[in-house]
Structure 1
Amino acid sequence: MANGSKKMHLVWITVLFCPAVVLAGNVLVFPVDGSHWVNMNIIVEELHARGHSVSVVRTEDSWYIKESSPFYTAITLKMDGGFDHEFITIFVGRLLEIQRKGRSSWARLELEMEQFKAMSILHKKGAELIEHIFDDKHFMESLRAAQFDLVLTDPVFLTGVMVARHLDLPLVFNVRWTFYGEGHFNIAPSPLSYVPLPGTELSDKMSFQERVLNIFAYCFAQCNVEYFHKPYYDGLMQKYFGQDSFMSLFQRADLWLMRIDFVFEFPRPTMPNVIYMGGFQCKPAKPLPSHLEDFVQSSGEHGVIIMSLGTLISRLPHEISEEIAAAFAKLPQKIIWRHTGKPPVSLGNNTLLVDWMPQNDLLGHAKTKVFVAHGGTNGVQEAIYHGVPILGLPLVFDQHDNLFKIEFRGAGKVLNIFTMNSNSFLEGIEDVIHEPSYRINMQRLSRLHRDLPIKPLDLALFWIEYVIRNKGAAHLRTESYTMPWYSYHSVDVILFLLGIGLIMLLTFVVLVKRLFFCVCGRIKRKRD
């Protein structure tokens, strides 16, 4: 009996304290190239480590997504996706040219239009890719025969979304942005009175004029999606999905793994199938390579400044690089700068140029004082995780918005890279280094970010495996996408109630009118 009791105790301990058991799943991944793949690859590697089989769909011109990997099986489509190094380099260069004209309203409009035009080209390629996939009967049969458990995709493009719908597979998003814009606007109530549209650089406390701007920006963005994006997919939607709407494809997703953290974002309504995993790529710092460690230690009490402009922009216009290098040369700190191309003439002896840096490990080093960054989501989240204040030099995409939020919380400072000179850049760095409030505020954000019951990556993997175990998560998904717009916004109910109210009002008026004539008639008869 004693042995039997011990065995039962072991069983209960296993049930209560061990993570939920999941059979090895078969996951089909449709990623987006570039920095988005850096995020997706972390999840892919973790899925592989947990025993799942992962297949990654890529095109021949894939930039970051390699054909050979120990973590996944690549499915290479024999066509171009359009999202290659050459396209991105030309596109980003054009955005930088526009911003160098200044920050007038016209320049901002020109910048937005250029981004929509570039996305239009990519969506044209995306539509061609979907048609190529769906028309290849042999390929589609091979996907069905593989018996995938779910599709994991980044919904900036529609390929994975449409394939999941066509194969009737559970769908999980690794998401910040979608075909329509910021992900929350596709799935959760988003009152524009206090939910700022990304890119407006507004907070959740808006004045009347700011709310007008917010609504205008939202309408402008929606019109551009209708004009630049959707037309390429209209025929495909009719051909393959009949009456389904674009929005319904997104809202059918079982799970939204959202790459944000409310330590950083402004509070807003959300939904039960939105799981927040902001900073899931962050981890404790590892020891630096010996040559970097020696360089860092040589900084003494002054410490180190690191600078990186992300995966897309490692080379700035020459004159800007010269201004930055000249400012760095005047500092007592040592500088590690991710830079490619010709070294600036004004480069100081305290500055080390590198093609690549272990950014996470440098941010976690005790001697790192400031992170000079462009404001990409990954870099901002790593800086928050390690509590390093930021001097922001936003360039393109959502970088202005990310750095606005850091500045709003007093955890960094933002400069206009196209109007600054070496003196203003130097003043900005010295302010962030010597004003303690920046580091204090960033370290507070770091404590809040880390104060979680479960690590963001573990949370994301739990919910992916949850979908595998339960063949989806429809019970967490709103069915609002099945409703016509007038039902969703209760227009029909409002009109019905207004109609009843109008009928009651008319009835009351008629009754009063008749009563009035009746009383008047009696008075007249008495007089007569």
Structure 2
Amino acid sequence: MTLLFLHLSRSDYKNFLNFMTELSYQCNITLHQSDIFSFLKEETYDLAIIDAFNPCSFLVIEKLGIPFIAFCPGLFINAGRVGIPGPLSYVPEYKSSLTDRMDFFGRLKNTLAFMVSSVIVMKMDALFDQVIDEHFPAGSRPTIADLHLKPELWIYNVDFSIEFSRPLLPNVQWIGGLLTKPAKPVTPELEDFIAESGESGFIVVTLGSMISSLPVEEFLKEMNDGFAKMPQKVIWRYDRSDWPEELNVAHNVQLVDWLSQNDLLGRVFVKHAFGVGTGVPNLSLNHKAFTIEQAKHWCYQTWKKVAPQLSYMSGVRDWVDQRK
């Protein structure tokens, strides 16, 4: 994971380390589940596919002792750990806000960013040292760094056309757009709602499967008020049971517990910026540190300029108003 915290505040850095500490705690519990591991070993799987974000995935596979493929859901945030060459003269470090066109000072900044990121990665890996010591015998204890070099194949959900040019290894593949497929008909309820929008059209709002509601009511009100001023209909994936009783849903907003993004995409899209888009305008609500850089990165690669970055509380309603 490269340069995740270079531009983040001390509290953000602390919060992420707390998050990784929680993952290490959960990992310890997982590795204690001997009945589950016995079942998995009895199945004699030939190959596993793991999510590379959680270091525990590597430890589970190491304990099972089977070949595996590692999947990374975004940009090359862990290229150095995987062994992918990253010449600092033209491959910008993650979160550096640099492009592949760097002058001397840009390259100097990129080098410093690489050094800082290396220290941060070591701190994150150290959080799992106790887990490794407890569950692996002395003399054969792996390190998180070594385990990143063991996958038979690394697959990244990015497209070469919106990524900076860089060297790759034979065991690294891009799969951006793999899930893109022709749209299917939507439900009759949504079809009627969309039809009511007329020529103005509709907007899809979703923050991914990890966030089905917003805990910050002030931000929720900002979004709801902004959408109320728009001529378009808004289909918003939101857990209706978590909607505040005192807040009235905007007249042009339809809340749904689940929606098929692929079937509804095609106009202005409000999303979390942590997936390959469809080439339409989108307002990126970055609820993870990764997605901030990813949104800027893709904007630059597509239009050779970075779109404006707004604060959550002060900018959403104004941004929406300007695009009515």
Report the TM-score when normalising by structure 2: 0.81
Q: CA deviation at 1:322?
A: 2.3
User: Which residue, out of 45, 51, 61, partners 1:148?
Assistant: 45
Answer yes or no: is the 8 Å Cα contact 2:272–2:286 preserved in 1: yes
Q: Supply the distance in 2 between the matched residues of 1:165 and 1:347 (Cα, whole angstroms).
A: 49
The one-letter code of the counterpart of 1:235 is: D
How do 1:89-238 and structure 2 match up within 5 A?
A: 108-130=9-31, 132=32, 136=34, 142-176=39-73, 182-187=77-82, 188-233=84-129, 235=133
How do 1:342-357 and structure 2 match up within 5 A?
A: 342=244, 345=247, 347-357=249-259
In the other structure, the counterpart of 1:337 is 236
Q: Supply the distance in 2 between the matched residues of 1:192 and 1:161 (Cα, whole angstroms).
A: 28
Q: CA deviation at 1:331?
A: 1.9
Q: Deviations over 1:211-235 (max 9, x none)?
A: 3443333333332332243253252
Q: Supply the distance in 1 between the matched residues of 2:152 and 2:282 (Cα, whole angstroms).
A: 36
Q: CA deviation at 1:168?
A: 4.0
Aligned residues: 309
When residues 259 and 237 of structure 1 are mapped into structure 2, their CA distance, relative to the original with a 3 A threshold, is: farther
Structure 2 residue matching 1:263: 3-state secondary structure: helix
Q: CA deviation at 1:209?
A: 3.8
Structure 2 residue matching 1:124: 3-state secondary structure: helix
Answer yes or no: is the 8 Å Cα contact 2:90–2:100 preserved in 1: yes
Q: Supply the distance in 1 between the matched residues of 2:144 and 2:135 (Cα, whole angstroms).
A: 8
Q: CA deviation at 1:404?
A: 0.6
When residues 418 and 348 of structure 1 are mapped into structure 2, their CA distance, relative to the original with a 3 A threshold, is: closer
Structure 2 residue matching 1:257: 3-state secondary structure: strand
After superposition, the CA RMSD in angstroms is 3.1
In the other structure, the counterpart of 1:405 is 297
The one-letter code of the counterpart of 1:423 is: D
Q: CA deviation at 1:240?
A: 5.5
Q: CA deviation at 1:170?
A: 1.8
Q: Supply the distance in 1 between the matched residues of 2:217 and 2:65 (Cα, whole angstroms).
A: 52
Q: Deviations over 1:48-84 (max 9, x none)?
A: xxxxxxxxxxxxxxxxxxxxxxxxxxxxxxxxxxxxx
When residues 111 and 213 of structure 1 are mapped into structure 2, their CA distance, relative to the original with a 3 A threshold, is: farther
In the other structure, the counterpart of 2:4 is none
User: Which residue, out of 390, 404, 416, partners 2:311?
Assistant: 416
Q: Supply the distance in 1 between the matched residues of 2:118 and 2:100 (Cα, whole angstroms).
A: 21
Higher share in helix: 1
When residues 283 and 403 of structure 1 are mapped into structure 2, their CA distance, relative to the original with a 3 A threshold, is: same
Q: CA deviation at 1:157?
A: 3.1
Answer yes or no: is the 8 Å Cα contact 1:322–1:346 preserved in 2: no
The one-letter code of the counterpart of 1:113 is: K
Answer yes or no: is the 8 Å Cα contact 1:123–1:229 preserved in 2: no
Q: Supply the distance in 2 between the matched residues of 1:251 and 1:414 (Cα, whole angstroms).
A: 36
Q: CA deviation at 1:343?
A: 6.6
Q: CA deviation at 1:171?
A: 1.8
Q: Deviations over 1:411-441 (max 9, x none)?
A: 97653323315334311x34xxxxxxxxxxx
* Relative contact order higher in (CA < 8 Å, ≥ 6 apart): 2
Which runs of 5 or more residues in structure 1 are unaligned?
1-104, 431-528
- In the TM superposition, structure 1's runs of 4+ consecutive aligned residues that sit over 6 Å from their partners are none
Q: Supply the distance in 1 between the matched residues of 2:29 and 2:124 (Cα, whole angstroms).
A: 15
Answer yes or no: is the 8 Å Cα contact 2:74–2:156 preserved in 1: no
The one-letter code of the counterpart of 1:287 is: P
Q: CA deviation at 1:273?
A: 0.9
User: Which residue, out of 400, 405, 426, partners 2:321?
Assistant: 426
The one-letter code of the counterpart of 1:206 is: M
How do 1:8-47 and structure 2 match up within 5 A?
A: none
Structure 2 residue matching 1:311: 3-state secondary structure: coil
Structure 1 residue matching 2:91: 3-state secondary structure: coil
Answer yes or no: is the 8 Å Cα contact 1:152–1:160 preserved in 2: no
When residues 124 and 285 of structure 1 are mapped into structure 2, their CA distance, relative to the original with a 3 A threshold, is: same
Query: Is the aligned partner of 1:239 residue 2:137?
Result: yes
Q: Supply the distance in 1 between the matched residues of 2:214 and 2:307 (Cα, whole angstroms).
A: 23
When residues 414 and 308 of structure 1 are mapped into structure 2, their CA distance, relative to the original with a 3 A threshold, is: farther
Answer yes or no: is the 8 Å Cα contact 2:310–2:316 preserved in 1: no
Q: Percent identity?
A: 29
Structure 2 residue matching 1:283: 3-state secondary structure: coil
Which runs of 5 or more residues in structure 2 are unaligned?
1-6
In the other structure, the counterpart of 2:204 is 306
